[in-house]
Structures are given as structure tokens and as C-alpha cells.
Structure 1
Amino acid sequence: MKRILLVLSFVVVSLTSKAQTFSGTGGAIPDNNNYVYFPITVSGLSSSVIDSSFGLQSVCINLLHNNDYHLTIQIVAPDGTTIDLSMNNGGTGNNYTNTCFSGNAITSITAGSAPFSGIILLREF
């Protein structure tokens, strides 16, 4: 089975600020079992620690792939902490269109089917 790993890397810098939105560019995800990284530099945050009073509200993606089951989607902090957003979900369906992962969502990614869209509960919650 071929697996692709999409990792969004977040670089956190301690500065005073309010809620912010960060985005990055994507690229091709080949079916060759290699990891693919799409880094996003995050700066201007008031804390370098994600805890109960400070953290990510959501992670939103648009991802085109012909077999979502092959994908592992994660975010990775600079210290190596990894949060799984989705792993081997969607069967042979394709795409994540305007899909937002949130710890406050009601519907689990494992309860949905591809194509995914809308607000989905993080896999690890």
C-alpha cells in the first residue's frame, strides 16, 4: 500500500499578538511512499506553548488526491510534537475541499467519507 505523509510544520516565535491566520503554498503529492512536507512559518504569537489557554483553533486545508486512504495528514511543532489530523481515512474517495480540523467539532473524521469538507474533529480528540 502506498502512503503519503503531509506535514505542516509550524515555527512558533514568542511575540505579543492576537489571533492570526497563516497560509502557505502546496505542491504535488506523488504516489511513491515518500514523505512530503509543506512548511508554514508561524510568527507573532504571544506564547510558544500550546495549552488549555492558548492554542490552535483550527487547521484548514484544500488537498487534491485521488485516494485519500493513502494520506496521513499531520501538523508538527518545532519541538517535534505531532498531532494527527487524518490518517488513512476516506477509502478510495478523493480530496479534502475547504476542510477544517478543530478540537471543537462534532463530527469525527472517521465518521465521514471522501470527499471531505466542512469542520471535522481532529483525529486525536
Structure 2
Amino acid sequence: MSSEEEMLLVGGLNFNTDKQVLEDHFSSFGPISEVVVVKGQETQRPRGFCFTNFTNPEHASDAMKAKNGESLGSHQIHVEHVGKSGRAPEGMPLGPRDMVTDRVGGNQGYGSGQCDS
């Protein structure tokens, strides 16, 4: 993630929500460099949250303000900044680089996670 990018944590997702739906849902705010859908290591199933990287921090802030508490599919989602460190907010100790993921775009060198192309 470049120093200009801003990462958002999106929680409360329906387990069937895929990376394309998320990219479509957030891309109206500006360019997205990466969407990382987090999966359980043992089950390989989505865990109900993702990380979304915007190429512009202002776009990320706009998306967070507009989409936090909104419905996506049948679920109310929660959107918050992760911050420049790439670490998740308190209560979620791991960032996307430490998780099994299904991602679109961006650096494919993240940790030892698994991705579905």
C-alpha cells in the first residue's frame, strides 16, 4: 500500500458477498487499488468482512461516511478506517496481510494467505 492510499475495513457482510460486488459498491467514490475478502484459514469460507484500499484518502473518507450503516444485500455494513499501519482496529488484531484472502488488484505478495482468482 503506498503512503497515499487509505484502507477501510468493511464488516457485517453477507458471507456470499464477493470481491466484485464490493468493488462495484465502493468504486463510485474513486479508484480502488485492492479489495481483500477475508476467509477462515481452515474453512476457506468468507468471514464477513473485507479490506478495501482507495488510491486517495479523501475518497476513502467519503466512502466511509456514505456507506457506514448502509445495507449491502440483506446486511447492514460497518465501515471504518484501518489506518496507515495496515492493522485492523482494536478488537481485530490481524490486518489483511496476515489472513487468508480472496482479493482483486494490488500487491499479490501478501503473507501466506490463499487467493481465488
TM-score by length of 1: 0.28
In the superposition, the TM-score normalised over structure 2's length comes to: 0.29
Answer 1 or 2: higher relative contact order, Cα 8 Å, separation at least 6.
2
Greater C-alpha Rg: 1
